[in-house]
Structure 1
């Protein structure tokens, strides 16, 4: 259908309706769509239906879809056909899908094929799938492959051919099924290759299947990589359990406990997170203190789209939304895993660096989208610690949080605004900061102190019972340790020479 076949006045009204809709003026757009339809433009009825559905009026949308379908709009016939199929009226659904298919509607052709396949009319279904494929519908090739496959009892060569075609167009299910066909054909290498592609296309079972295969082959390193991806990308409970089994057999109880608890509620961090976060803990705590003094404890408002945070009458820029903590189920949700935001949203995009660092260094706390923290003594503080550790990777000024959803949650923001003060080394506060950091990460006090010295760029000297950092401005920090590795004493002095 082209505008040339409709009355010019109707075409003009529709164009004005579309312009109003683009500008967010829905009431005006709705009225103009109605006028365009009444003036003789049936597509306007379909577009009005789309708009009503976007605004939550499904019944109104269906009424206008029907009007458009009655005047020969294929897309509208498809929508009403889908609605009738949902209601269980397969006869009416078939009639409408045929109308859509006759008009060249790709999804109408596909869905008509599915209806016919389900009632056993395979020849016509196959013809329809081929038509849909020729129009670019990858699901049609998947369906053809599945018919040839017949659960491994059919023509596997043809099944592989059609699965491959669909996979080339990004169909994850086809790539995964192709792996099963290759296994049935006895080609394990091709099976692995197909499942790797399926995993890259985000098939929910592919990474787990690869993990199992590599484990069976004795390739523990590859098995761990793919099992972790299954947990990270799809919260796969079985994969977490398999990881726990692998570490348990290796005698690595800390990692085994961590992965076993991931689906049910963490009570401790992973060894990888402990190592990373403890090393930067003194600097992170100091950065938080400086930021807290600058911001105060007043009410907070934020604008994620503008990347701003306002408190104490001042607005700060360079905000990254890190994530949120739910006080209801005591879980942490990274912003990149929040359905309300896209990965490339300007306030979320910086988190890619955190996620990539987590993958490169095996830190699951930075790669698993949602983490149940209910096993920690203080789940809220556990989430805060994760946010602060992530903020350290982004540099800037530190992390600030505020309540959301009437106190049911807390949102966490990283700030990077040049107007905020920088947390420089403070010899008067160093001892207290070390003790606070060791309280948070008590398992390796030496790592905490080494991280402090390295962060502020001093020279380090280390002996069996002491670590000393000599800073460029003449300050020296000396931390002594007891025989069991605890902090025994801290001195800070200034020696200009």
Structure 2
């Protein structure tokens, strides 16, 4: 069964690619959410309206804790809570208290993060891996609190994988993201992206429709080398 930290690695690279795609789609923007509708608006150079909005929860500096949306006394609509409840069920099934407990103190999370944005990111990544919903957004809601949302919209779906984008995600993700196990992160990304994965102990081979990427790791499962071959696999 996965741990909370392993879920971070499982989510990291595919979540990163979805964030790249979202950023490219909406560009510079402002946002507004109405959970009574529900509706999430990106306003700016490339407007986008999402009418399927899932509130995961919020990280607040006052109590220094994350509160899952299903535990919030405000009482949100069922469709707004659907994915958070699915993450809760996953946590109960696998013994991951960060997903199943109603409120999580900042200090109970790995590394004892102090910033609400960092806490929201950790909780969102775990929920993404647990539920298979990958397009996320977090933002300020006042008083230093950060809320985390997952969004569904056809234009937020990823296009078919290409060699340049896959290489960028792997290379940039390895450099910029806090990954514990590069081999696990690469393998999870490839499987969730619908790519073929081979190689258990030595180099990992990630094969797409017109490319093959080889990734080598050291004994600590940290990436040491990456190569790409273009052209349809034989």
Q: Does the aligned pair in 2 maintain the 1:294–1:421 contact within 8 Å?
A: no
Select which of 184, 188, 201 maps to 1:451.
188
1:369 aligns with 2:105: no
Q: Does the aligned pair in 2 maintain the 1:403–1:411 contact within 8 Å?
A: yes
1:353 aligns with 2:91: no
**In the aligned structure 2, how far is the partner of 1:421 from the partner of 1:275?**
24
Residue 414 of structure 1 aligns to a residue whose secondary structure is strand
Q: Residue 301 of structure 1: CA displacement?
A: 1.0
The structure whose residues are more often helix, as a share, is: 1
Gaps of 5+ in 2: none
| Aligned counterpart, 1:390 | 127
Gaps of 5+ in 1: 1-270
Residue 80 of structure 2 aligns to a residue whose secondary structure is coil
Q: Residue 377 of structure 1: CA displacement?
A: 5.9
Structure 1-normalised TM-score?
Answer: 0.42
1:307 aligns with 2:1: no
| Aligned counterpart, 2:58 | 324
Structure 2-normalised TM-score?
Answer: 0.83
5 Å-filtered alignment, 1:246-325, equals 272-312=3-43, 313-325=47-59
CA separation of 1:411/1:443 partners in 2, compared to 1, >3 Å: closer, same or farther?
closer
CA separation of 1:482/1:419 partners in 2, compared to 1, >3 Å: closer, same or farther?
closer
C-alpha distance after superposition, 1:214-246 (max 9, x if no partner): xxxxxxxxxxxxxxxxxxxxxxxxxxxxxxxxx
The structure whose residues are more often strand, as a share, is: 2
**In the aligned structure 2, how far is the partner of 1:415 from the partner of 1:400?**
8
**In the aligned structure 2, how far is the partner of 1:397 from the partner of 1:446?**
20
Residue 169 of structure 2 aligns to a residue whose secondary structure is helix
Q: Does the aligned pair in 2 maintain the 1:291–1:420 contact within 8 Å?
A: yes
Highest RCO, 1 vs 2 (Cα 8 Å, sep ≥ 6): 2
Q: Residue 361 of structure 1: CA displacement?
A: 1.6
Paired residues, number: 224
Residue 82 of structure 2 aligns to a residue whose secondary structure is coil
Residue 443 of structure 1 aligns to a residue whose secondary structure is coil
Residue 413 of structure 1 aligns to a residue whose secondary structure is strand
Larger Rg: 1
Q: Does the aligned pair in 2 maintain the 1:465–1:483 contact within 8 Å?
A: no
| Aligned counterpart, 1:411 | 147
CA separation of 1:430/1:385 partners in 2, compared to 1, >3 Å: closer, same or farther?
farther
Q: Residue 483 of structure 1: CA displacement?
A: 4.1
